[in-house]
A and B are shown apart, each in its own frame.
Chain A
Amino acid sequence: MTDRAVLRREFPVKGGDFAKAGVVACRIKDLLKELGLDVGTVRRAAIASYEAEMNIIMYAREGLVKLAVSPRRVRIMVDDKGPGIPDVDLAMTEGYSTATPEMRELGFGAGMGLPNIKKNADRFRIESGVGRGTHLEIIINANGHQP
């Protein structure tokens, strides 16, 4: 029963499309609410997916956010066609950012994106390298930890 009950969705995200910033995260949030997941899980998934979506918009040409929801957990996979991150450990440091002044002007690029995703996830995996794009796997357990 629970194995069958997996809802999958894919959300393409276009790089540089700041006008659509947050749309995917918002759709994910609404969907999780409809599925009756608890408020905390919904909130964590919304924050994590928002940060992931923004990273694509800010740095990549395009990307795909893939959502798989089962009653017990939310899995968000993110693949982007972007420049890739040369030093992943450095990128995971709070406050480290390569955002341009224009992005900062818009209130983005505080260097909290990836650390914030990790903080809200129960499991987090990142794979990236120059020229290879960036791949994230974010798992949030229903009724899991609160950051």
Chain B
Amino acid sequence: MNKKHLHAIHITQDKCIGCVHCMAACPTKAIRLRDGKAKIIDELCIDCAECLRSCPYDAIHTHTTSFDALSAFDYKVAIPSTVIYGQFGATTLPNEILSALRMVGFDEVYDPSAICELNTAAIEEYLSEHPKPRPFITSTCPVVVRLIQRRYPALCGQILPIEPPREVAAKILRTILPRALNLPPERIGIIHVTPCPAKMVSINHPATLKKSYLDGAISIRDIYPQMLNALRKSSDEALMRHLFPETLFSGIGMGWSLSGGETRGLKRHRAVAVSGVQDTMRVLDQVEAGLLQDVDLLECTVCPDGCVGGPLQVENRFLAKARILELVDAAGDRAVVDQKDVSRLYHKNFLSFDHPVPPVETPPLDVDPAKAILKAQRRDKIFKKLPRLDCGACGAPDCWTLADDIVRGTARLADCPFVRSPRKKEKR
């Protein structure tokens, strides 16, 4: 595995001042301060971007596909997230936004709402055919998948094995475009436009596919200025496009990026939507304890309010959400996908995972449970010596994590500035 691209979130060393904000915000306790700089522990990071949101010094950056990298392809296709429709104010219509994407350099742009609707229909079919286990959990949010792999490995089998719309859309285009354009597949670049850095991770290291069908993910933030320019320059053309719309937007798919949007179109099943990383963890704890078995489908997205709260969008998320809700209202319950087509694709396994989500083991205190128990006892003793201020001065997010790091051999008791006479017992 290419370690360099394991994560989409990185710390800019010269901007990091070594404060404790990101460390405290990290839900998986994946950050430590070493030599006055924040360091991310690769094995623990799930790319949720909580650190990015909390950093006051702009010292955390994301690696998404650069616009220049697109020149490697002869034909460039964009599949934006529906979040994009909420980025340009209350009067800019979806067709104008898609056309602006074309103007900034994509040869073709596909509206994702129809594929989102297709996905909901396929999920409904899957739930009907599989009465157990309950609840199934959606796989759209790559951070949730990574969280479950690491923190809730027993729930891996409950992730509903249908690929999310971005991959399904790319797979469809990957199938039809080479012949339609008479181009070799590798000359066609299929790019997701997204508010989410974790999509980059799911493209580089897919959890359920041998290889992603997407070639990259461009951040909305990076492409926004060019799009805004294009929209300004072309207001006349945009007007024409209003009058002669070429894309039929799906009412069911349009709200997909809002929390609850993935499940809104379900007719025969009970669904619950959760958003935000802390709340997602709280609910997954309950699912792991055997609760929520009366729920068919659990939609989890770690960004607040769903993908519309993604860290790489531009518009404030409340305005974006309000705008998308307007568009959802305008589209109504309009369906643009034929249920029979969905059923055919579904039964061909065209929409399925290549393989189930594999659990990722977090290392226990020791592989030998007897030794692990001794280490846990020692950790309890160390913890009692610590001040329980959770100040972060030692470089760990809280006293308990410091005690844990000490028994795992990655920190020393002397790292705590409050512990007197450090060099007594705890070395190693």
Contacts and interface: CB of A to CB of B under 8 A. Distances in A.
B172 interface: no
A6 B376 CA distance: 10
A29 interface: yes
A75 to B, nearest CB: 13
Contacts of A107: 291, 294
B290 A71 contact: no
Interface string A22-56: 10011001010111110100110011001000000
**Among B153, B369, B371, which residue has the most Cβ atoms of chain A within 10 A?**
B369
Given A7-B376, A22-B285, A47-B289, 17 more contacts: A1-B370, A5-B370, A5-B371, A22-B289, A22-B291, A29-B288, A29-B289, A33-B362, A33-B364, A34-B365, A35-B369, A35-B372, A39-B154, A43-B154, A47-B290, A50-B291, A107-B291
A97 interface: no
Contacts of A42: 154
- Residue among A7, A107, A116 having the largest count of chain B Cβ atoms under 10 Å: A7
B365 A36 contact: yes
Q: Which 6 A-B pairs have the closest CB atoms?
A: A36-B364, A71-B369, A50-B289, A5-B373, A5-B370, A35-B372
A33 to B, nearest CB: 7
B374 interface: yes
B289 A26 contact: yes
Given A34-B364, A35-B376, A71 B289 contact: no
A128 interface: no
Q: Report the interface size class on chain A.
A: 20 to 34
Nearest to B156: A39
Interface in B354-375: 359, 362, 364-374
B339 to A, nearest CB: 33
B369 A36 contact: yes
Nearest to A26: B285
A42 B364 CA distance: 13
A35 B373 contact: yes
A93 B290 CA distance: 19
Interface residues of B, number: 24
Contacts of B376: 7, 31, 34-35
A69 interface: yes
Contacts of B374: 4-5
A102 to B, nearest CB: 18
Given A42-B154, A43-B154, A36 B289 contact: no
B235 interface: no
A70 to B, nearest CB: 7
Contacts of A25: 289
A42 B369 CA distance: 13
A2 B289 contact: no
A46 B289 contact: yes
Contacts of B285: 22, 26, 29
B370 A71 contact: yes
A37 B289 contact: no
A36 B154 contact: no
B154 A2 contact: no
B153 A39 contact: yes
B289 A69 contact: no
A1 B367 CA distance: 15
B18 to A, nearest CB: 28
B288 to A, nearest CB: 6
B368 A36 contact: yes
B213 to A, nearest CB: 32
A107 B290 CA distance: 13
Interface string A76-98: 00000000000000000000000
